[in-house]
Amino acid sequence: MFVGRKKELEELERYYMENTFHCAVIYGRRRVGKTTLIRKFIENKKAIYFTAAQTPAKENLEQFSFQILSVLAPHAPRNPFASFFDAFDYCFKAAVKQKLILVIDEYPYLAESDKAVSSLLQATIDTYRESSHLFVILCGSSMSFMENQVLGYKSPLYGRRSCQFKILPFNYYESAQMLPAFGYNDKIILYGMCGGIPEYLSRINNKLSVQHNALDLFFNPSGRLFEEPSNLLKQELKTPQTYNGIIAAIACGSSKVNEIASKAGIETSQCSNMLLTLISLGIVQKEYPAGNTGISRKTIYRLSDCMFKFWYRFVLPDLSRIAMGFGKQVCAEVFGKSGSSNAIDTYMGPVFEECSTQYLWLEMSRGRCTFKIIGRWWGPNPKEKIEEEIDILAQDGTGKAIFGECKWRNLRAGNDVLVDLIRKSELFPDYTKKRYMLFSKSGFTPRLTQSAADRGDTVLVSPAQMF
């Protein structure tokens, strides 16, 4: 099932229809669906698809030659080209009188196996860009390599690309399209477990419950996601153990760089550099209070990848028990009731805030509102001398603002939630027009519903409305 990526497909088709040379650069973290997007685009088109491997240049050249000749000369002997330059030259010449797509997936592996590859490709582009109709697609999962060695100013390929696409994970709304059998709340929980990574979402069995899927994927030693974070770190980083300590520290509640460094047992300067690497991989995000971008003393770090959040919160602490066959018990502890809530409900609070923020961005994309900044806010209340937090603060830059509160709990949100949110909004006297938005997993009490109707400046949003 192919879901989403409509804009990317439309843009690729637009360039393809121009019937001239183009080079598209597609990159993003592993498992995000880059290859699926490309394969969807090249359906029913004449295309050479080559996936580079972490092998010597000679072996990559042999496989590259095989793929080229399989498409362009299927009945000719499959003798390898003498060099990558000859292989590129052959493709460009073949596209002089016909449309042809050349895809090089995992391009960083190819460029690392032969340091001259980018320069050779640049030379053939410069020779044939006016006469050839070749559509080159360079794809890679190493975001730092793609941004620096392909798109960067010092790259031989700088200025040769026609377009670039950084493929991001799905938002909660797009993710839900892969989960048709589940209710609204369950779709949000599954997003909280797997994030918006299509490969992970594709592993969810729509015939099983949320808890059963969690058991199969995370709490089973043979489960697809049981060791996924560890495997990803090993693929991307030279010293995964230290990075693992940083991620674990953030997952346990540390958010400031000095707290994270102390918890991980490393120097603050080293921690800062490693956090930048994790940000580039899409695992960690740097966050400021909404409207206060750049104030370093208020900077905090959070895990941006929901699968990492879930794994480090619930799987890592019990790896031994799960490995010894007690995964079912561990899973039951996560989803089991303890009074009026459970561990998964506590975990889902911040995830629901993220989904609610995404909902506002979606409303903007639909033309229903306009804001310049949407995010969380935290800071001091000078009057009461306490720290305050606002789940969502959306500002348009002209004095208008929306203040939002998100409640992921088994009780309906009451009027007290609105009263408290209005109180917090008084910390912002400069906003001339204030509106309020409440999100609640379990709905709203009759009193709050009536109060919102009477006020006229308050919107109540349930999970069903978010979809």
CA distance 3 to 180: 12
In angstroms, the first-to-last Cα distance of the chain is 20
The CATH architecture to which 6-166 belongs is 3-Layer(aba) Sandwich (3.40)
Question: Tens digit of pLDDT per residue, the chain (467 long)?
Answer: 788 899 999 999 999 999 899 999 999 999 999 999 999 999 999 999 999 999 999 999 999 999 999 999 999 888 999 999 999 999 999 999 999 999 999 999 999 999 999 999 999 999 999 999 999 999 999 888 999 999 999 999 999 999 999 999 999 999 999 999 999 999 999 999 999 999 999 999 999 999 999 999 999 999 999 999 999 999 888 889 999 999 999 998 999 999 999 999 999 999 999 999 999 888 999 999 997 755 557 889 999 999 999 999 999 999 999 999 999 999 999 998 655 568 999 999 999 999 999 999 999 999 988 899 999 999 999 989 999 999 999 998 888 999 999 999 999 999 999 999 999 999 999 998 999 999 999 999 999 999 999 999 999 999 999 99
- Mention every residue, 6+ apart, whose C-beta is less than 8 A from residue 22: 15, 16, 135, 136, 162, 163
Class of the CATH domain delimited by 346-466: alpha beta
Contacts 24+ apart (CB under 8 A), 321-328: 322/219, 322/220, 322/221, 322/226, 323/221, 325/221, 327/215, 327/219, 327/220, 327/221, 328/215, 328/219
Q: 387 pairs with which residues across the strands?
A: 380
CB 438 within 8 A of CB 459: yes
CB 59 within 8 A of CB 53: yes
pTM (two decimals): 0.91
CA distance 310 to 314: 6
CA distance 125 to 155: 14
- Mention every residue, 6+ apart, whose C-beta is less than 8 A from residue 166: 27, 28, 143
186-212 burial: b if 16+ Cβ within 10 Å, else e: bbbbbbbbbbbbbbbbeebeeeeebbe
CA distance 81 to 381: 70
What phi and psi values does residue 22 have, to the nearest 5 degrees?
-145, 155
- Mention every residue, 6+ apart, whose C-beta is less than 8 A from residue 84: 57, 61, 64, 114, 116, 117, 120, 121
Q: CATH number of the domain at 173-336, out of 1.25.40.10, 3.40.50.300, 1.20.1250.20, 1.10.10.10?
A: 1.10.10.10
Q: Spell out the domain ranges in the chain.
A: 6-166, 173-336, 346-466
CA distance 340 to 342: 7
CA distance 225 to 311: 8
